[in-house]
Amino acid sequence: MFELSPTEWTAILLSLRVATVATLVATPLGIAAAWLLARREFWGKSATDAVIHLPLVLPPVVTGYLLLLTFGRRGPVGAWLADHLGIVFAFRWTGAALASGIMSFPLLVRPIRLSIEAVDRRLEQAAGTLGAAPWQVFLTVTLPLALPGVLAGMVLGFAKAIGEFGATITFVSNIPGETQTISSAIYSLIQTPDGDTAALRLVVVSTLIAMAALVASEWFARRALQRLHGN
């Protein structure tokens, strides 16, 4: 019963690839957004914060449809990217990565923002008096002290990305081998007469991945406290 079929393996590996790419691309953007929200006052800050959190509260199908309108073949951004850079999102695994990246972005940003806010600004001032320019202060003091939060955010974002369903299936459909992730494979299997055991196997796999992510995220959070106390 625990023998995974080739189709199931394909879905698992695709999910891992989609979530890894989504997380790696989203992390630098997430750090930048978290830093802006934690450390800067600017016009439109609340609006930026709201937009980042929007995918958390919008129905996923709405986010997926908006992605289709924007990044689809005929969407303004999608058409431009396809014509000028040859990047196509619609009905490709890259589109799945984009959808899950956007859906997981708020979960990625939040722990990073909290950990940057927890960094003592007086330490940043001290670094300045020792000759560190603002970007050096960020790289040598702020970011290392916030690093456990960054890792926790990456783990949470990854877990969310790997399970994303609604926006992904709306945007890039459910094509085996191209856009069929674990979640959409489970969805297909449940609707197939003899798919129950296969669906169950994927349910176990996705539960294990989610559990591992939570444990890892908890571990990073504990490391963060130790780091801030300098032991």
Partner 1 sequence: MLRVDVSKRLGDFSIEASFTSEGRVTGLFGASGAGKSSLINMIAGLLQPDRGIIAIDGSTLDDTIRQMHVPVHRRRIGYVFQDARLFPHLDVRQNLDYGRRMNRLAGDAAQHRRVTDLLDIGNLLDRRPGRLSGGERQRVALGRALLSQPRLLLLDEPLGSLDEERKEEILPYLVRLRDEAGIPMVYVSHDAAEMRQLATHIVMLQRGRVTAFGGAEVLPAALARA
Nearer to partner 1, 98 or 224 (CB): 224
Three-state DSSP class for 43? Answer: coil
Residues 168-227 that bind partner 1 (CB under 8 A): 227
Using the minimum distance from each CB to partner 1, give the nearer residue, 120 or 196: 120
Q: Does 128 bind partner 1 (CB under 8 A)?
A: yes
Phi-psi region of 230 (alpha: psi -120 to 50; beta: other; left: phi over 0): left
Q: Does 40 bind partner 1 (CB under 8 A)?
A: no
Q: What is the CA angle 157-161-162, rounded to 5?
A: 120
* Site for partner 1 contains 126 (CB under 8 A): yes
Binding residues for partner 1, rule CB under 8 A, total 24
**For partner 1, which is the closer residue by CB, 61 or 132?**
132
> What's the Rg (C-alpha) of the chain?
20
Selection from 73, 77, 105 nearest residue 92 by Cα:
73
Per-residue x/- mask for partner 1, residues 64 to 103, rule CB under 8 A? ----------------------------------------
Q: Is 37 exposed, middle or buried (0-12, 13-18, 19+ CB in 10 A)?
A: buried
Among 136, 192, 197, 207, binds partner 1 (CB under 8 A): 136
d(CA 78, CA 64) in angstroms, rounded, equals 14
Q: Which residues bind partner 1 (CB under 8 A)?
A: 120, 122-123, 125-134, 136-137, 140-141, 144-145, 227-231
